[in-house]
Amino acid sequence: MPIHESGENYLETILILKEEKGAVRSVDIVEKLGYAKSSVSRAVNNLKKIGYISVSKDGRIDFTKKGIERAQSIYNRHKIITDFLMAIGVSEENAEKDACKLEHDLSSESIMAMKSFAEKHKV
């Protein structure tokens, strides 16, 4: 079952929250994204159904092996695009926002070229 852009955004958010807080629950995602509880609940259930996360009885969200690999891949793409945009003069704030939009649609070839460019032109 394919994962859509919104699912990728949830995986990335869970990863970031895990790095910040250690344990993540749906309420943390609601607070971070500002979405309705029902929307987050639906997304969490979908990610659980396709095998990217598990949810303990106390509501703690954890990644499966497949889920952590996918979340890290998405987050790495995000960081590469952000670094590239900043290397060509985009402000950090706009680079972050634009990376969120681009990370889902660019080819691996484009991402690797951006990474190479950004590494050569570190800001």
Q: How far apart are CA 92 and CA 114, in angstroms?
A: 16
- Check: CB of residue 64 under 8 Å from CB of residue 52: yes
- AA identity, residue 119: E
Number of helices followed by number of strands (H, E) in the chain: 6, 2
- Whether 56 and 94 share a structural domain: no
- Whether 9 and 47 share a structural domain: yes
CATH code of the domain containing 23: 1.10.10.10
Among the three residues 63, 95, 111, which one is the final residue of a domain in this structure? 63
Q: What is the pTM of this model?
A: 0.85
**pLDDT higher than 90, residue 10:** yes
Q: How far apart are CA 66 and CA 87, in angstroms?
A: 32
Model pLDDT, residue 2? 67
- Whether 53 and 103 share a structural domain: no
Model pLDDT, residue 103? 86
- Whether 56 and 103 share a structural domain: no
Helix axes 26-33, 37-49, angle to 10 degrees: 120
- Whether 87 and 113 share a structural domain: yes
Name the residue with tokens 């969200």: 61
Give me the percent of the chain exceeding a pLDDT of 70.
98
- Could you tell me the two tokens for 58? 């106390």
Model pLDDT, residue 85? 94
- Check: CB of residue 92 under 8 Å from CB of residue 86: yes
Among the three residues 63, 80, 103, which one is the final residue of a domain in this structure? 63
Residue 13: closest CA among 51, 49, 67: 67
- Whether 59 and 85 share a structural domain: no
- Whether 9 and 56 share a structural domain: yes
Among the three residues 45, 63, 81, which one is the final residue of a domain in this structure? 63
Bridge partner residues of 55 (DSSP): 61
Q: What is the residue range of 44's domain?
A: 5-63
Domain count, the chain: 2
Distance of alpha carbon 102 from the chain centroid: 12
